[in-house]
Structure 1
Amino acid sequence: MSDLQRAAELIAAADAVLACAGAGMGVDSGLPDFRGDHGFWQAYPPYERLGLKFVELADPVHFAQDPTLAWGFYGHRLDLYRRTVPHAGFGVLRDWGARVFTSNVDGQFQRAGFADVAEVHGSIHHLQCVEPCTDEVWAADDVVVEVDPETMRAVSPLPSCRACGGLARPNILMFGDWAWVPGRSRRQLDALVEWRRGKRNLVVLELGAGLAVPTVRRQAELASAASGALIRVNPREPDVRHGRGVSLRMGALEALQALAELVAR
């Protein structure tokens, strides 16, 4: 029996599916995964000219010290994610009634029709105060940030806090971030834990989660620890430790479509 067939059997026999998704889930929709400095600069050539790396830009200090630079980066990403259409693999997961845990901040699962998503690192589609002056988090639906494509700097006016009128920032957990307001994400994670408690025959489908930031891998391994029903989909780093699951060296869309065909038989 092939690994793909073994994975399909696990899904077909399960009472519930938990999808644990990393950056690789969005690659087939055309989103960059920022894998290494070269990958980041391929997606954002102006930053290569400026000599700026992803870890440097994804630092909350810029919102205090250089807000037009900070909002240039996040404003561009906000527009990109709004314009991106989720690939067909999202529909496969929705048809299976999957619950979602993700480190992605792009909101693609919500765009694909998912109501219950645990976003462990927050969401670019929600804002908070830079300070923060309040624990309030609010939707960025009406926020449009104009970005100069040459300098990659945002053009004023910048998004403001609804409470104090000062600068707002995305409700995303950044590197070295002590000002992130975690309440929204914690409530999502609490709801996921409660859902998992009632699922005895759970299969965990890990999609595009690498080793660099292992948050999603840890969650997938934890959730599948009791049963070993883990399916790890990754074109570069698919190995499963101690044989506790099925390894598929494939991209997310290719794997989901192949699994959907086998499960439907």
Structure 2
Amino acid sequence: MSTSCYASLSCNDTRNSYVEGTASIDFTSKVLSYGLPDSSKPNLLPYGELTFFDCLSAGSRFYIDLTDIGERMGRGDRTFDLWEVDMPVDLRKRFSSKDCVWIPTCVEIGIGYRYEYHPSRTHISDTQFWLADISLPDIWVVPRLSYERDVIRDNGTYLNFSLSKEIEIFDSVSIVPSVSQGWGDVRRVAGYLPGPDMVGRLDHSGLMDAFFRLDIVWKVSERVSVSVFAAYSEFLFDHDIRKSARNYIRQSDAGAHNRSWSIPFGLSVKVSM
């Protein structure tokens, strides 16, 4: 991540052009939301994004399920089918002590919106999210606090705090360890997790997924990068949420038995234009 800060009177003005594009295709062993599997089998995730004036971006991410997990979840056979499209819009800005004397280091703030679309055959309702985040990208370990509000499906709120560090090990290769912890309010938790003995919904707010991740990034050229990742997700701090997560995962993955943890891994190829 860049360590530059920019004047607050305009968007981040480091562009070579007014419009820039990014395209990527990811492979992931499973798709998680809040530590819970939306799909516990392999997926392809093509993504395209346009950024205007280096501050306003809009894109689309496509989720292509490579298995029949959807049939077991009661959502219809999704084998090699598109089952979700995310369409985010993001406005992002950096501020420094040049902008305000009481800012001791670079502060990055983002606000956004995301529309989540599901084809009718999946029997999943569409929804929309308001998003916001704040981070300190210039310090040795980068902290980030993010906010998500589902405004259609369940009005649930989810907060996530993360720490990450990019470590260069060769000229074009770096590793990025990160750790994060999520928290959900009553509506966010109830929107996903079943109640005791799979009856009703879990009427409970608390700490949700703890996430430990390691990325290895190879910058093939100025515009092309390849990365791999492995992660571990678990519900460490709340017994009721952890117990309910076991039931959820058992229902979505026939081989999961009695566990609340997940170990996703994947590969990504990214091209900037």
Q: Whose helix fraction is larger, Structure 1's or Structure 2's? A: 1
Q: Whose strand fraction is larger, Structure 1's or Structure 2's? A: 2
TM-score relative to the length of structure 1: 0.30
Which has the higher relative contact order, 1 or 2, with Cα contacts under 8 A spaced 6 or more apart? 1
